[in-house]
Chains A and B, each alone.
Chain A
Amino acid sequence: MSKQQPTQFINPETPGYVGFANLPNQVHRKSVKKGFEFTLMVVGESGLGKSTLINSLFLTDLYPERIIPGAAEKIERTVQIEASTVEIEERGVKLRLTVVDTPGYGDAINCRDCFKTIISYIDEQFERYLHDESGLNRRHIVDNRVHCCFYFISPFGHGLKPLDVAFMKAIHNKVNIVPVIAKADTLTLKERERLKRRILDEIEEHNIKIYHLPDAESDEDEDFKEQTRLLKASIPFSVVGSNQLIEAKGKKVRGRLYPWGVVEVENPEHNDFLKLRTMLITHMQDLQEVTQDLHYENFRSERLKRGGRKVESEDMNKDQILLEKEAELRRMQEMIARMQAQMQAQMQGGDGDGGALGHHV
């Protein structure tokens, strides 16, 4: 059967119809049965509305018994990693969502070490996956790798803070970064535009690689292309989160009630919440792919290049290695000297009954 000319198989009764146009449906059915796994990490200073936004995005309460620590506890705390998993089902499709929270980030007076914990967590997940992948039983590999990181930028600054820049540069090769402007209801439209442009300029200035939405394929319909274009133009998204139902204009909407008005979460004129949700849902698969094909492969090649030797601490300097090599060399030389002495003794011993030299090998 020659397949040189690609033809459109519309009518199944057409001669030459093989039937593998059904493959996407099969994949779809299998994925629905298997369910999806997605790990989302949220990073940002405390008080930027991260938990509220996550609850709003997935319409659940991921943190039912949350106690906000007091000021005294905040002083002593270091950055921690808290992962919570929730299974969401919608129209038969199951999503196993893991949200990795990073409380304590940016709280301390000296934040120099606050991203070490986060980076080691990300590396640990990659390491575990690598280990599972190289193992014998590969049927049930659990994918806990971080697929996407929402980085919350404070709307109160004039752009990116030094901490933001340092953190994003440290992880842009390990995870997909989606910058989000939090608490957007404190900005007027003009201020919002200015801040977005400012952030984009600073990202370019510092060569930070954030997650770029893939361009729509040329064979997609116009609506989808337009949607993708709109999404791309709105990065970074400025969002407002809330799960409270407020009465506004006769209907109940999710929003925040102020004395001067109501901010509606799902109103595209008020904020970019819907855009963020659309982006996350339509590109969940792509985020996973980029994590697998780009970040994980980078990690894997780095890791395998280092060889089986596990680098314990990054600061093992060359001097230490040199010293070790020198010690080994000395030991070798000693052994050679001993063997030479032995041989000499044997030769001498052949003449007479010389004292047996204690030889130790």
Chain B
Amino acid sequence: MDPMRRSPSPCPSSRPSSPRTPPCEMFGQVGIEAVLDQLKIKAMKMGFEFNIMVVGQSGLGKSTMVNTLFRSKVWKTSLPSLGTPIPQTLQLHSLTHIIEEKGVKLKLTVTDTPGFGDQINNDKCWDPILAYINEQYEQYLQEEILITRQRHIPDTRVHCCVYFVPPTGHCLRPLDIEFLQRLCRTVNVVPVIARADSLTIEEREAFRHRIQQNMRAHCIDVYPQKCFDEDVNDKILNSKIRDRIPFAVVGADREHLVNGRCVLGRKTKWGIIEVENMAHCEFPLLRDLLIRSHLQDLKDITHNVHYENYRVMRLNESHVLPRGPGWVNLAPASPGQLTTPGSMKTCRQAQDDSDDEF
């Protein structure tokens, strides 16, 4: 604790006369900053949990991307053996790993979705994914409403869903649009342009621009959502990110020697694509967003917004809570949009619909 300092002027009256408590001028050091240290120590002891889901057609490099993000062989990137048919229905596989860096433990759960968009008829292929996400919310809810609750409820809710868009260079496909529309209301979605090493820089920019247009036209609100920017700083930071979404990424889990340094990359006959080089691809942006700067924010939004929406909807269904404030409008629903009944109720506009139903 620091030694006390003498401040020149006496402190003004500390009686709160307005709703906002005026800052109290201090005439000494109390040592409040030590709270931060205590939080840090506690967090490091408890460890962090992060649940990420990767969605996209097979072969777009999802497993490689996860390995690259966390710099470890989280997922085995082997080809499915010949003769094993592509699964007829979408099956979700979850893998949990505990990785440690500088004393901080991270319990990472990655959910993969093999078979998404691979069939001839891909109608309703998003239903199993939505069902899984809602199931995790349900599990958490059940734990939360128990009379004797656990001290720390295990959190299996999906904090972030990374959607891999194939690099066609044209625009979003109908499947992409359907999926993104439905999912951006239930979970934080971060779309990325997969295998971006097949696009030149100009093609990449044009493609990104067109995707942004498509998303605006179809009211797809991906992470970071505009409505959750808390202050000006957030807005500036997030606007920069929003300009570059979707990130054009390349994944690699092999190291090569470039100019004497060992870098992660893909070696081809015409050059080495460095994954961490901003001039080559935007993987560092994705990594920074997901891990270095916005990991806690992703978890907070999942807990405070998406989970709360789900909870309010469920409690309303069972008539426990009177309807009222508590509805959070994530993205305005354009007329005639089809969504699953669950996520429809998260929109304020849908209040009228539910009036008729109940």
Contacts and interface: CB of A to CB of B under 8 A. Distances in A.
A46 B119 contact: no
B255 to A, nearest CB: 14
B59 A71 contact: no
B292 to A, nearest CB: 24
Contact of A75 (B57, B60, B177, B269): B177
B201 A259 contact: yes
Interface string A71-96: 11011000000000000000000000
A115 to B, nearest CB: 10
Interface of A: 45-48, 68, 70-72, 74-75, 107-112, 154-159, 161-163, 166, 183, 185-186, 188-189, 194, 198, 201-202, 205, 256-264, 269-270
A198 B266 CA distance: 21
Given A109-B123, A202-B82, A47 B58 contact: no
B174 A107 contact: yes
A337 B272 CA distance: 92
B120 A71 contact: no
B201 to A, nearest CB: 7
A162 B178 contact: no
B200 A162 contact: no
A267 to B, nearest CB: 8
Q: Return the 9 tightest CB-CB contacts between A and B, nearest first.
A: A47-B168, A261-B271, A261-B270, A260-B271, A186-B198, A157-B59, A156-B59, A71-B214, A75-B174
Given A68-B171, A262-B270, A194 B58 contact: no
Nearest to A183: B198
Given A70-B214, A110-B122, A111-B120, A186 B174 contact: no
A45 to B, nearest CB: 8
A202 to B, nearest CB: 7
A186 B59 CA distance: 12
A158 B79 contact: yes
A71 B177 contact: yes
Contact of A158 (B58, B170, B266, B280): B58
B345 interface: no
Contacts of A75: 174, 177
Given A109-B122, A202-B82, A260 B273 contact: yes
Interface string B227-271: 000000000000000000000000000000000000000111111
Nearest to B214: A71
A257 B200 contact: yes
B166 A186 contact: no
Nearest to B82: A201
A74 B174 contact: yes
Given A71-B214, A75-B174, A157-B58, A258 B168 contact: no
B120 to A, nearest CB: 5
Contacts of B197: 185-186, 258
B175 interface: yes
A112 B279 CA distance: 41
B261 to A, nearest CB: 15
Contacts of A161: 86, 118
Given A110-B123, A258-B200, A156 B270 contact: no
B171 A71 contact: yes
Contacts of B177: 71, 75
Contact of B171 (A70, A205, A259, A261): A70
B299 interface: no
Nearest to B85: A162
Most chain A Cβ neighbours within 10 Å, of B58, B168, B272: B168
B71 to A, nearest CB: 21
Contact of A166 (B120, B173, B201, B274): B120
